[in-house]
Amino acid sequence: MISTIKNPISSDWLSILKRPTQSFQDLENQAKQIFKDVLNNGDKAILKYAKIFDKFDNQPFTVLQEEIKASEKNVSEDLKSAIQNAYEAIYKFHKAQLQPDLPIVETKKGVFCWQKKKAIQKVGLYIPGGSAPLFSTVLMLAIPAQIAGCEDIVLCTPPSKDGEIDPAILYTAQLCGVTQIFKVGGIQAIAGMTFGTESIPKVYKIFGPGNQYVTIAKQIATTYDVAIDMPAGPSELLVYADQTCVPEFVAADLLSQAEHGEDSQVILVADNLETINQVKAELNLQINSLPRKEIARKAIANSKFILMKNLDSAFELINFYAPEHLIIATDQADEFSEKVINAGSVFLGNLTPESAGDYASGTNHTLPTNAFAKQYSGVNLDAFMKTLTYQKLDENGVKSIGETVEVMAEVEGLTAHKNAMRLRLNALKLI
Protein backbone atom coordinates (compact mmCIF):
# COMPACT_ATOMS: atom_id res chain seq x y z
CA MET A 1 0.00 0.00 0.00
CA ILE A 2 1.34 3.41 -0.95
CA SER A 3 1.54 5.71 2.04
CA THR A 4 0.60 9.36 1.93
CA ILE A 5 3.03 12.00 3.14
CA LYS A 6 1.10 14.82 4.78
CA ASN A 7 2.28 18.42 4.70
CA PRO A 8 6.03 17.76 4.76
CA ILE A 9 8.19 20.67 5.88
CA SER A 10 10.58 22.10 3.29
CA SER A 11 13.68 20.86 5.11
CA ASP A 12 12.47 17.29 4.47
CA TRP A 13 11.72 17.71 0.77
CA LEU A 14 15.17 16.65 -0.42
CA SER A 15 14.99 13.27 1.30
CA ILE A 16 11.31 12.71 0.50
CA LEU A 17 11.76 13.47 -3.20
CA LYS A 18 15.01 11.56 -3.69
CA ARG A 19 15.15 9.89 -7.08
CA PRO A 20 15.62 6.10 -7.13
CA THR A 21 18.92 6.31 -8.98
CA GLN A 22 22.42 5.14 -8.29
CA SER A 23 25.01 7.81 -7.66
CA PHE A 24 27.45 8.85 -10.35
CA GLN A 25 30.28 7.34 -8.32
CA ASP A 26 28.62 3.90 -8.35
CA LEU A 27 28.73 3.74 -12.16
CA GLU A 28 31.59 6.04 -13.08
CA ASN A 29 34.47 3.59 -12.89
CA GLN A 30 32.83 1.02 -15.14
CA ALA A 31 31.79 3.65 -17.67
CA LYS A 32 35.26 5.23 -17.78
CA GLN A 33 36.87 1.84 -18.35
CA ILE A 34 34.56 1.17 -21.30
CA PHE A 35 35.38 4.60 -22.75
CA LYS A 36 39.09 3.94 -22.45
CA ASP A 37 38.70 0.54 -24.10
CA VAL A 38 36.72 1.98 -27.02
CA LEU A 39 39.25 4.81 -27.43
CA ASN A 40 42.12 2.33 -27.65
CA ASN A 41 40.49 -0.60 -29.43
CA GLY A 42 37.62 0.79 -31.49
CA ASP A 43 35.27 -1.79 -33.02
CA LYS A 44 36.95 -4.63 -31.14
CA ALA A 45 35.90 -3.07 -27.84
CA ILE A 46 32.40 -2.28 -29.16
CA LEU A 47 31.96 -5.95 -30.09
CA LYS A 48 33.23 -7.11 -26.68
CA TYR A 49 30.66 -5.05 -24.79
CA ALA A 50 27.90 -5.91 -27.25
CA LYS A 51 28.46 -9.56 -26.32
CA ILE A 52 28.43 -8.77 -22.60
CA PHE A 53 25.48 -6.38 -22.41
CA ASP A 54 23.35 -7.03 -25.49
CA LYS A 55 24.21 -10.73 -26.05
CA PHE A 56 24.97 -9.79 -29.64
CA ASP A 57 28.24 -10.69 -31.33
CA ASN A 58 27.84 -10.18 -35.05
CA GLN A 59 29.46 -7.60 -37.27
CA PRO A 60 29.08 -5.33 -39.13
CA PHE A 61 27.42 -2.90 -36.74
CA THR A 62 26.20 -0.83 -39.66
CA VAL A 63 22.58 -1.35 -40.67
CA LEU A 64 22.53 -2.06 -44.40
CA GLN A 65 20.15 -0.40 -46.83
CA GLU A 66 18.53 -3.75 -47.54
CA GLU A 67 17.60 -4.10 -43.87
CA ILE A 68 16.03 -0.66 -43.86
CA LYS A 69 13.99 -1.43 -46.98
CA ALA A 70 12.90 -4.77 -45.56
CA SER A 71 11.74 -3.11 -42.34
CA GLU A 72 8.97 -1.28 -44.16
CA LYS A 73 7.27 -4.59 -44.95
CA ASN A 74 7.23 -5.45 -41.25
CA VAL A 75 5.49 -2.27 -40.13
CA SER A 76 1.71 -2.37 -40.26
CA GLU A 77 -0.19 0.18 -42.30
CA ASP A 78 -1.89 1.41 -39.13
CA LEU A 79 1.47 2.07 -37.49
CA LYS A 80 2.84 3.73 -40.63
CA SER A 81 -0.18 6.03 -40.65
CA ALA A 82 0.27 6.81 -36.94
CA ILE A 83 3.98 7.55 -37.40
CA GLN A 84 3.21 9.82 -40.35
CA ASN A 85 0.52 11.66 -38.35
CA ALA A 86 2.92 12.18 -35.44
CA TYR A 87 5.68 13.21 -37.87
CA GLU A 88 3.49 15.98 -39.26
CA ALA A 89 2.66 17.41 -35.83
CA ILE A 90 6.25 17.23 -34.55
CA TYR A 91 7.62 18.68 -37.79
CA LYS A 92 5.12 21.55 -37.72
CA PHE A 93 5.94 22.52 -34.11
CA HIS A 94 9.70 22.33 -34.59
CA LYS A 95 9.62 24.09 -37.98
CA ALA A 96 7.83 26.96 -36.23
CA GLN A 97 10.87 27.32 -33.98
CA LEU A 98 12.99 28.48 -36.92
CA GLN A 99 13.78 32.14 -36.34
CA PRO A 100 15.15 34.58 -38.91
CA ASP A 101 18.72 35.67 -38.39
CA LEU A 102 19.18 38.73 -36.20
CA PRO A 103 19.29 41.81 -38.44
CA ILE A 104 22.50 43.83 -38.62
CA VAL A 105 22.74 46.13 -35.60
CA GLU A 106 24.87 49.27 -35.74
CA THR A 107 26.03 49.37 -32.12
CA LYS A 108 28.15 52.48 -32.63
CA LYS A 109 28.64 54.57 -35.74
CA GLY A 110 30.44 52.36 -38.23
CA VAL A 111 30.33 49.26 -35.98
CA PHE A 112 28.05 46.55 -37.32
CA CYS A 113 27.15 43.31 -35.48
CA TRP A 114 24.89 40.44 -36.48
CA GLN A 115 24.19 36.75 -35.92
CA LYS A 116 23.59 33.71 -38.10
CA LYS A 117 22.49 30.25 -37.06
CA LYS A 118 24.25 27.22 -38.48
CA ALA A 119 23.39 23.56 -38.10
CA ILE A 120 25.71 21.33 -36.10
CA GLN A 121 27.28 19.23 -38.85
CA LYS A 122 27.54 15.85 -37.15
CA VAL A 123 25.02 14.71 -34.53
CA GLY A 124 24.55 11.37 -32.80
CA LEU A 125 21.17 10.09 -31.72
CA TYR A 126 20.85 7.43 -29.02
CA ILE A 127 17.60 5.47 -29.21
CA PRO A 128 16.80 3.12 -26.31
CA GLY A 129 15.89 -0.41 -27.32
CA GLY A 130 15.46 -3.45 -25.13
CA SER A 131 11.99 -4.26 -23.82
CA ALA A 132 10.43 -1.12 -25.32
CA PRO A 133 12.15 0.07 -28.51
CA LEU A 134 11.38 3.79 -28.64
CA PHE A 135 10.80 4.54 -32.31
CA SER A 136 8.96 7.66 -31.15
CA THR A 137 12.29 9.03 -29.92
CA VAL A 138 13.60 8.79 -33.48
CA LEU A 139 10.89 11.28 -34.45
CA MET A 140 11.75 13.57 -31.55
CA LEU A 141 15.46 13.72 -32.35
CA ALA A 142 15.76 13.21 -36.09
CA ILE A 143 13.02 15.66 -37.12
CA PRO A 144 14.67 18.75 -35.56
CA ALA A 145 18.05 17.54 -36.88
CA GLN A 146 16.48 17.28 -40.31
CA ILE A 147 14.90 20.74 -40.11
CA ALA A 148 18.12 22.29 -38.78
CA GLY A 149 20.03 20.86 -41.75
CA CYS A 150 22.54 18.65 -39.93
CA GLU A 151 24.75 16.97 -42.54
CA ASP A 152 25.37 13.69 -40.72
CA ILE A 153 22.69 12.20 -38.49
CA VAL A 154 24.09 9.05 -36.85
CA LEU A 155 21.79 6.74 -34.90
CA CYS A 156 22.81 4.06 -32.40
CA THR A 157 20.37 1.64 -30.83
CA PRO A 158 20.84 -1.73 -29.11
CA PRO A 159 19.85 -4.78 -31.18
CA SER A 160 17.96 -7.83 -30.03
CA LYS A 161 19.92 -11.01 -29.26
CA ASP A 162 19.52 -12.12 -32.87
CA GLY A 163 21.04 -8.88 -34.08
CA GLU A 164 17.84 -7.26 -35.30
CA ILE A 165 16.59 -3.73 -34.77
CA ASP A 166 12.89 -3.13 -34.32
CA PRO A 167 11.50 -2.45 -37.82
CA ALA A 168 9.56 0.58 -36.58
CA ILE A 169 12.85 2.22 -35.56
CA LEU A 170 14.34 1.59 -39.00
CA TYR A 171 11.22 2.75 -40.82
CA THR A 172 11.02 5.95 -38.76
CA ALA A 173 14.75 6.65 -39.15
CA GLN A 174 14.48 6.49 -42.93
CA LEU A 175 11.42 8.76 -42.86
CA CYS A 176 13.33 11.35 -40.83
CA GLY A 177 16.51 11.49 -42.87
CA VAL A 178 18.90 9.56 -40.61
CA THR A 179 22.10 9.01 -42.59
CA GLN A 180 23.69 6.05 -40.74
CA ILE A 181 22.36 3.48 -38.27
CA PHE A 182 24.38 1.22 -35.98
CA LYS A 183 23.43 -1.80 -33.89
CA VAL A 184 25.15 -0.60 -30.73
CA GLY A 185 23.69 0.23 -27.33
CA GLY A 186 24.59 1.47 -23.89
CA ILE A 187 27.85 3.03 -22.75
CA GLN A 188 29.74 1.57 -25.73
CA ALA A 189 27.43 3.38 -28.17
CA ILE A 190 28.06 6.74 -26.53
CA ALA A 191 31.79 6.03 -26.42
CA GLY A 192 31.76 5.00 -30.09
CA MET A 193 30.11 8.27 -31.16
CA THR A 194 32.47 10.21 -28.88
CA PHE A 195 35.73 8.90 -30.34
CA GLY A 196 34.76 7.35 -33.64
CA THR A 197 35.75 3.78 -34.49
CA GLU A 198 36.43 1.88 -37.71
CA SER A 199 32.66 1.67 -38.20
CA ILE A 200 31.04 4.42 -36.13
CA PRO A 201 31.81 8.05 -37.04
CA LYS A 202 32.72 10.64 -34.43
CA VAL A 203 30.00 13.24 -33.84
CA TYR A 204 30.02 16.72 -32.36
CA LYS A 205 26.93 16.42 -30.16
CA ILE A 206 25.02 13.46 -28.72
CA PHE A 207 21.29 13.42 -28.08
CA GLY A 208 18.87 10.99 -26.53
CA PRO A 209 17.43 9.50 -23.37
CA GLY A 210 18.52 6.30 -21.74
CA ASN A 211 19.06 4.48 -18.49
CA GLN A 212 21.49 5.51 -15.77
CA TYR A 213 24.42 4.01 -17.67
CA VAL A 214 23.67 6.05 -20.78
CA THR A 215 23.27 9.18 -18.67
CA ILE A 216 26.68 8.65 -17.06
CA ALA A 217 28.23 7.88 -20.45
CA LYS A 218 26.92 11.12 -21.92
CA GLN A 219 28.38 13.09 -19.03
CA ILE A 220 31.75 11.41 -19.54
CA ALA A 221 31.53 12.23 -23.27
CA THR A 222 31.59 15.92 -22.39
CA THR A 223 35.08 15.48 -20.96
CA TYR A 224 36.24 14.44 -24.44
CA ASP A 225 35.03 17.60 -26.20
CA VAL A 226 31.66 16.23 -27.26
CA ALA A 227 28.53 18.18 -26.38
CA ILE A 228 25.30 16.58 -25.16
CA ASP A 229 21.69 17.69 -25.14
CA MET A 230 21.24 17.25 -21.38
CA PRO A 231 21.57 14.63 -18.63
CA ALA A 232 18.45 12.59 -19.42
CA GLY A 233 17.96 9.49 -17.29
CA PRO A 234 15.05 7.41 -16.00
CA SER A 235 11.62 8.83 -16.67
CA GLU A 236 9.60 10.73 -14.07
CA LEU A 237 6.18 12.32 -13.79
CA LEU A 238 4.58 14.58 -11.20
CA VAL A 239 0.82 15.19 -11.23
CA TYR A 240 -0.79 18.04 -9.35
CA ALA A 241 -4.48 17.29 -8.78
CA ASP A 242 -7.35 18.86 -6.89
CA GLN A 243 -11.00 17.94 -6.41
CA THR A 244 -11.75 18.86 -10.05
CA CYS A 245 -9.46 16.15 -11.42
CA VAL A 246 -10.66 12.86 -12.89
CA PRO A 247 -9.04 10.22 -10.61
CA GLU A 248 -9.26 7.56 -13.33
CA PHE A 249 -7.24 9.76 -15.68
CA VAL A 250 -4.65 10.63 -13.04
CA ALA A 251 -4.07 6.97 -12.18
CA ALA A 252 -3.64 6.13 -15.85
CA ASP A 253 -1.12 8.95 -16.24
CA LEU A 254 0.92 7.78 -13.25
CA LEU A 255 0.98 4.24 -14.60
CA SER A 256 1.99 5.45 -18.06
CA GLN A 257 5.28 6.59 -16.60
CA ALA A 258 5.65 3.73 -14.15
CA GLU A 259 5.65 1.20 -17.01
CA HIS A 260 8.73 2.81 -18.58
CA GLY A 261 11.09 1.09 -16.18
CA GLU A 262 11.67 -0.06 -12.64
CA ASP A 263 13.72 3.06 -11.94
CA SER A 264 10.99 5.45 -13.10
CA GLN A 265 9.42 7.68 -10.46
CA VAL A 266 5.87 9.02 -10.28
CA ILE A 267 4.56 11.53 -7.75
CA LEU A 268 1.09 12.80 -6.94
CA VAL A 269 0.71 16.13 -5.18
CA ALA A 270 -2.79 17.09 -4.06
CA ASP A 271 -4.50 19.54 -1.77
CA ASN A 272 -7.01 17.11 -0.25
CA LEU A 273 -6.87 13.57 1.06
CA GLU A 274 -10.01 12.41 -0.75
CA THR A 275 -8.42 13.01 -4.16
CA ILE A 276 -5.34 11.03 -3.15
CA ASN A 277 -7.42 8.09 -1.92
CA GLN A 278 -9.52 8.07 -5.09
CA VAL A 279 -6.41 8.01 -7.28
CA LYS A 280 -4.91 5.19 -5.21
CA ALA A 281 -8.05 3.11 -5.66
CA GLU A 282 -8.04 3.67 -9.42
CA LEU A 283 -4.35 2.88 -9.65
CA ASN A 284 -4.81 -0.45 -7.88
CA LEU A 285 -7.61 -1.33 -10.31
CA GLN A 286 -5.76 -0.39 -13.47
CA ILE A 287 -2.33 -1.82 -12.74
CA ASN A 288 -3.49 -5.43 -12.93
CA SER A 289 -4.50 -5.09 -16.58
CA LEU A 290 -1.09 -3.89 -17.77
CA PRO A 291 1.20 -6.27 -19.69
CA ARG A 292 4.15 -4.51 -18.00
CA LYS A 293 2.50 -4.61 -14.57
CA GLU A 294 5.52 -6.09 -12.80
CA ILE A 295 7.72 -3.24 -14.03
CA ALA A 296 5.01 -0.74 -13.07
CA ARG A 297 4.66 -2.22 -9.59
CA LYS A 298 8.39 -1.85 -8.92
CA ALA A 299 8.30 1.73 -10.15
CA ILE A 300 5.23 2.49 -8.05
CA ALA A 301 7.24 1.36 -5.04
CA ASN A 302 9.35 4.48 -5.69
CA SER A 303 6.29 6.70 -5.95
CA LYS A 304 5.18 9.38 -3.51
CA PHE A 305 1.69 10.63 -2.72
CA ILE A 306 1.99 14.00 -1.03
CA LEU A 307 -0.72 16.08 0.62
CA MET A 308 0.06 19.79 0.73
CA LYS A 309 -1.85 22.34 2.76
CA ASN A 310 -2.41 24.88 -0.01
CA LEU A 311 -1.76 25.73 -3.65
CA ASP A 312 1.30 27.89 -3.04
CA SER A 313 3.11 25.30 -0.94
CA ALA A 314 2.25 22.62 -3.51
CA PHE A 315 3.86 24.55 -6.35
CA GLU A 316 6.83 25.48 -4.20
CA LEU A 317 7.44 21.76 -3.75
CA ILE A 318 6.85 21.08 -7.47
CA ASN A 319 9.41 23.69 -8.49
CA PHE A 320 11.85 22.25 -5.96
CA TYR A 321 11.42 18.77 -7.46
CA ALA A 322 11.63 20.11 -11.07
CA PRO A 323 9.86 17.18 -12.77
CA GLU A 324 10.59 15.95 -16.25
CA HIS A 325 6.84 15.85 -16.92
CA LEU A 326 4.25 17.86 -14.99
CA ILE A 327 0.52 17.35 -15.37
CA ILE A 328 -1.78 19.97 -13.82
CA ALA A 329 -5.00 18.00 -13.52
CA THR A 330 -7.48 20.69 -12.54
CA ASP A 331 -10.09 22.86 -14.23
CA GLN A 332 -7.87 25.89 -13.48
CA ALA A 333 -4.79 24.44 -15.14
CA ASP A 334 -4.07 27.47 -17.34
CA GLU A 335 -4.12 29.77 -14.33
CA PHE A 336 -2.06 27.45 -12.13
CA SER A 337 0.53 26.96 -14.89
CA GLU A 338 1.77 30.48 -14.24
CA LYS A 339 3.22 29.19 -10.98
CA VAL A 340 5.49 26.70 -12.79
CA ILE A 341 9.16 27.65 -12.96
CA ASN A 342 10.98 24.31 -13.16
CA ALA A 343 9.65 21.51 -15.38
CA GLY A 344 10.63 19.79 -18.59
CA SER A 345 7.18 19.79 -20.21
CA VAL A 346 3.82 20.82 -18.79
CA PHE A 347 0.44 19.21 -19.58
CA LEU A 348 -2.62 21.28 -18.82
CA GLY A 349 -6.07 20.07 -17.83
CA ASN A 350 -7.89 16.78 -17.45
CA LEU A 351 -7.91 16.02 -21.18
CA THR A 352 -4.15 16.29 -21.72
CA PRO A 353 -2.33 13.03 -20.91
CA GLU A 354 1.45 12.96 -20.78
CA SER A 355 1.35 10.31 -23.51
CA ALA A 356 0.14 12.99 -25.95
CA GLY A 357 3.51 14.68 -25.62
CA ASP A 358 5.32 11.35 -25.79
CA TYR A 359 3.95 10.69 -29.25
CA ALA A 360 1.96 13.14 -31.26
CA SER A 361 1.10 16.56 -29.82
CA GLY A 362 4.17 18.05 -31.52
CA THR A 363 6.31 18.93 -28.50
CA ASN A 364 9.54 17.07 -27.85
CA HIS A 365 9.65 14.25 -25.32
CA THR A 366 13.42 14.29 -24.76
CA LEU A 367 13.46 16.20 -21.50
CA PRO A 368 15.69 16.89 -18.48
CA THR A 369 15.29 14.51 -15.53
CA ASN A 370 16.75 14.28 -12.04
CA ALA A 371 15.96 17.97 -11.29
CA PHE A 372 17.99 19.20 -14.27
CA ALA A 373 14.85 21.05 -15.40
CA LYS A 374 16.10 23.78 -13.05
CA GLN A 375 18.80 24.66 -15.57
CA TYR A 376 18.16 22.72 -18.80
CA SER A 377 15.48 22.93 -21.46
CA GLY A 378 14.12 19.92 -23.29
CA VAL A 379 15.33 19.19 -26.80
CA ASN A 380 14.22 21.76 -29.36
CA LEU A 381 15.34 23.00 -32.75
CA ASP A 382 17.99 25.31 -31.30
CA ALA A 383 19.66 22.30 -29.71
CA PHE A 384 20.75 21.20 -33.20
CA MET A 385 22.07 24.62 -34.16
CA LYS A 386 24.72 27.05 -33.03
CA THR A 387 24.81 30.81 -33.32
CA LEU A 388 27.74 32.56 -34.96
CA THR A 389 28.29 36.26 -34.28
CA TYR A 390 29.79 38.62 -36.83
CA GLN A 391 31.14 42.13 -36.59
CA LYS A 392 32.51 44.60 -39.12
CA LEU A 393 34.12 47.99 -38.58
CA ASP A 394 34.46 50.65 -41.24
CA GLU A 395 36.55 53.82 -40.83
CA ASN A 396 33.88 55.40 -38.68
CA GLY A 397 33.78 52.26 -36.58
CA VAL A 398 37.49 52.35 -35.85
CA LYS A 399 37.07 55.97 -34.81
CA SER A 400 34.00 55.16 -32.67
CA ILE A 401 35.48 52.43 -30.49
CA GLY A 402 39.22 52.52 -31.17
CA GLU A 403 40.15 54.54 -28.10
CA THR A 404 37.80 52.47 -25.93
CA VAL A 405 39.50 49.25 -27.03
CA GLU A 406 42.96 50.71 -26.43
CA VAL A 407 42.17 51.93 -22.91
CA MET A 408 40.55 48.67 -21.82
CA ALA A 409 43.32 46.51 -23.30
CA GLU A 410 46.03 48.59 -21.64
CA VAL A 411 44.40 48.30 -18.20
CA GLU A 412 44.16 44.53 -18.62
CA GLY A 413 47.83 44.40 -19.56
CA LEU A 414 47.17 43.02 -23.05
CA THR A 415 49.47 45.17 -25.11
CA ALA A 416 49.07 43.21 -28.34
CA HIS A 417 45.33 43.80 -28.15
CA LYS A 418 45.97 47.52 -27.83
CA ASN A 419 48.45 47.47 -30.71
CA ALA A 420 45.99 45.72 -33.01
CA MET A 421 43.68 48.71 -32.75
CA ARG A 422 46.45 51.34 -32.57
CA LEU A 423 47.89 50.22 -35.93
CA ARG A 424 44.51 50.67 -37.58
CA LEU A 425 44.03 54.06 -36.00
CA ASN A 426 47.47 55.09 -37.25
CA ALA A 427 46.79 53.75 -40.71
CA LEU A 428 43.63 55.80 -40.93
CA LYS A 429 45.42 58.83 -39.50
CA LEU A 430 42.67 59.23 -36.93
CA ILE A 431 44.96 60.12 -34.05
Q: Summarize the annotated binding site for NAD(+) as residue ranges.
A: 126, 188, 211
Question: What percent of the chain is helix, strand and coil (3-state, nearest 5)?
Answer: 50, 15, 35
Contact 300, 287 (CB under 8 A): yes
User: Which residues participate in the annotated binding site for Zn(2+)?
Assistant: 257, 260, 358, 417
Q: Is 39 strand, coil or helix?
A: helix
Residue 325 is among the residues annotated as catalytic for this protein: yes
- Side chain identity at 350, as an amino acid letter? N
Q: Which of 2, 9, 3 is nearest to 308 (CA)?
A: 9
Q: Provide the phi-psi class of 55: left if phi over 0, else alpha when psi is between -120 and 50, else beta.
A: left
Beta strands in 205-311 (DSSP E): 205-207, 227-228, 236-241, 265-270, 304-307
What are residue 387's phi and psi, to 5 degrees?
Answer: -105, 125
Q: In what order do the strands lie in the sheet with 111-119?
A: 105-108, 111-119, 385-393
The residue annotated as part of the active site, out of 259, 282, 325, 406, is 325
Residue 94 is among the residues annotated as catalytic for this protein: no
The whole-angstrom separation of Cα 124 and Cα 36 is 19
User: Which residues participate in the annotated binding site?
Assistant: 126, 188, 211, 235, 257, 260, 325, 358, 412, 417
User: Which residues participate in the annotated binding site for substrate?
Assistant: 235, 257, 260, 325, 358, 412, 417
The residue annotated as part of the active site, out of 236, 259, 324, 354, is 324
The whole-angstrom separation of Cα 51 and Cα 56 is 5
**Catalytic residues, which ones?**
324-325
